Amino acid sequence: MLVDVGGKVRRPGVVSLPAGARVIDAIKAAGGVRPGARTGTLNLARRVVDGEQILVGVDATPVPAIAPGAPSGAASPGGAPLDLNTASAAQLDQLPGVGPVLAQRIVDYRTQHGAFRSVEELRQVSGIGTAKFGDLKGLVTV
């Protein structure tokens, strides 16, 4: 599995990790945290997902560009649809109607069940009913 590790690590970039690897393994594969940097709110014990980006010691909510050809009204508050398989809890928390608890449930579901195979699978997350799914389906992608 490939994970993009950025921010305040010694060797930022894409690292290859075995299945079942954790955030701490990704940071170690990127040479570890630079002196004086902190891991902040990162859950170092969380399993990583293929294609995920882990930002160490920096704001985990980058402002994405608007995807070319993206239909209006189908974008997250920052632009392009948010990828359920790579978004952090902080990024998911920015979606309308999703607070920190629900954002963490989405990340936990992804950790326990693997990558989302479809946007519709979001309905399996506790706390996402028909109405909330209707609000979110155009704002997320896989």
Give me the pLDDT at residue 71, please. Answer: 39
Give me the pLDDT at residue 59, please. Answer: 59
Residue 71 CA to residue 89 CA, distance in Å, equals: 25
Q: Say what the pTM is.
A: 0.48
Give me the pLDDT at residue 97, please. Answer: 85
Domain over 82-141 is classified CATH 2.120.10.80: no
Residue 48 CA to residue 130 CA, distance in Å, equals: 28
Residues 26-32, mean pLDDT to the nearest whole number: 95
- Residue written as tokens 């995807």? 67
Give me the pLDDT at residue 17, please. Answer: 95
pLDDT digit string (tens) for 30-53?
Answer: 999 998 888 877 889 989 888 888
Query: Domain map of the chain by residue range?
Result: 2-56, 82-141
Kindly state the tokens that stand for 42.
Answer: 């990162």
Mean pLDDT value across the chain: 82
